[in-house]
Every structure is written in C-alpha cells, then in structure tokens.
Homo-oligomer: A and B are copies of this chain.
Amino acid sequence: MHFFDTAIALTPAGDDRFRGATSPAYANMVGPFGGTTGAVLLNAALQHPARLGEPIALTVNFASAIADGAFEIEARAVRTNRSTQHWTMLLTQGDEVAATATAVFAQRRETWSAPEAVMPADLPRPETLARLDRALLPWIERYDMRFIRGGMPAEFDAQEQPDSSSVMWVRDEPPRPLDFASLAAICDSFFPRIFVRRRQSVPIGTVSLTTYFHADAAMLAAQAERPVLGSARALNFRNGYFDQSAEVWSDAGALLASTHQIVYFRA
C-alpha cells in the first residue's frame, strides 16, 4: 500500500462518520502535512455511499494543529441536486474541531470548452532537473519536486527577493497514479511563499485552502504517475496573513487544478 493511501485511509464508523489517523510518513513541522488533511477530508466524501459524481471544488479550513494520532471525520451530503452535490465535513479529535471543509461534486456533461491560461512554455523536462534532495521534513520526502524556479532557498539568508513565484515538476514519491485525492494534496505542496520571498524561515500555518478541479477522472488516469507542473505565486503579505495561488498542469499542458490559500505568518 502506498504511503499516501495509508495516510488517507478511512474506516466507516456509522452514518456519515469515518475514522482515520495521521501518518508519520507525512509529518510536518507540527502535526501532519495539510495536503493529506485536505485529501482525507475529500476522501470521506469520495468514499461515502451517497456520493454523486466527481469533485469540482474543495475548501479546507485548518482550525488548529492536528495532534499525531486518531481523528474522526463527519461528512454530510447536505444537498443533492440533479447533477451537483454539496458536502460539509468536520474533522474532530476528542471534542475539538481541528478542521472544517466543504466540497462540491458534480456530474459533468460535454460542452464547449476552452483554456484561457496556458502552461508556461519551453520548460525543461523533469528528467533533466535535479530532485530537491534535502531531508527537510517527512512529508517533503513523499514528493519528487524538481524546481525550475523559486525553489526552497538553499540557505535562509534573509535576502528579500523581488517575487515569490515558483515553477516545479512534482509527483508522489514513490510514484503513484494521480487521482482526485492525490491532486488535492499536491495543491498544498507549494512551499509557503514567504520562505521564497524573504528567504527567512518564520512560523506559518495555512488557515484556509480552496482547490478547483478542472480535470475529470479520465484526465487524471491519462496523467498516471508522471510528474505534473505546478506554478505558484502570492499577491500580498500583510499583518500576519498572505495568500498564495497555484495552477497544476498535466505534462500535456491541460489545467488539472487551480488552488488558493491564505496563510498565517509570524514575523
């Protein structure tokens, strides 16, 4: 079983309830990597017997640090329409709410379609780039990240940079076929933009993360285990909070997901 499948595994625990546990393979500075927390919340809806269609939107609010160990998820389909379904999720440890989430699922129909944004052009292929190989944190070891620009600073030298943009190839390590849950986690794999911008390590924590799924299951299956391209940036850093946005592209240049988050920082 892949580390990721262990991390997002859930056991049914009655109506709308599931049990899971944090995974040491995805440990972060404090508690687990937020990407796996978001993925396991999405997985509760994906696994739910009432589920309709595929995910379109996911928002995860990180209410507190999650303690290593067991947790419970409540996932409720609060509204099911002809082709869409609205979910609310709550992740609890004991009596405490550690995360909340909402998701929209849908059955898509074929329609007029058109890209507007395009993948950055003339990128070096992942096999020509070196993998980030510093053992920074367990969760980072679970990704093969190859930076084209804006990588984790080799040294936190406090030399402020003009911008916080990053472009990287990324896939699960070891390789694993892409699906909605792993794509949701990859959407949180972009390092905090403040590290790239300030080249300083400061305490940070994502407070809210939203992902839009542009791909369907067939597009994800076609991408299989190969690296996807991620491109991330921030708009604004102000008084304890900054945002960041990223796009995730298939290696054929199709937009798979776009993702946005707002992050607390102490400085």
Residues on A lying within 8 angstroms of B by beta carbon are 56-57, 59, 61, 63-64, 78-79, 81, 84, 86, 88, 90, 96-98, 100-102, 104, 106, 108-117, 160, 163-164, 193, 197-198, 207-208, 210, 212, 214, 216, 233-241, 243, 245, 247, 255, 258, 260, 262, 264-267
Residue in B79, B112, B197 whose CB lies within 8 Å of A64: B79
User: What separation, in Å, do the CA atoms of A110 and B90 have in the docked complex?
Assistant: 31
Min Cβ gap A208→B in Å is 4
| Cβ-defined contact, A84 with B239, below 8 A | no
Given A56-B208, A163-B116, A239-B216: A86 touches B100 (CB 8 Å cut-off): yes
Residue of B with least CB distance to A163: B116
User: What separation, in Å, do the CA atoms of A90 and B56 have in the docked complex?
Assistant: 20
Residue in B56, B197, B216, B255 whose CB lies within 8 Å of A207: B56
Min Cβ gap A159→B in Å is 14
| Cβ-defined contact, B240 with A207, below 8 A | no
Task: Please give the count of copies of this chain that the complex contains.
Answer: 2
User: Considering the complex of A and B, which 9 residue pairs feature the smallest CB-CB distances, nearest first?
Assistant: A63-B79, A57-B208, A117-B235, A63-B86, A108-B239, A113-B238, A59-B59, A112-B267, A78-B97
Residue of B with least CB distance to A90: B78
What DSSP secondary structure best describes chain A's contact surface? Answer: strand
| Cβ-defined contact, A97 with B79, below 8 A | yes
Min Cβ gap A156→B in Å is 14
Min Cβ gap A210→B in Å is 4
User: What separation, in Å, do the CA atoms of A10 and B115 have in the docked complex?
Assistant: 41
Given A79-B64, A88-B100, A260-B260: A164 touches B111 (CB 8 Å cut-off): no
Q: Which residues of B contact A113 (CB under 8 A)?
A: 237-239
| Cβ-defined contact, A239 with B110, below 8 A | yes
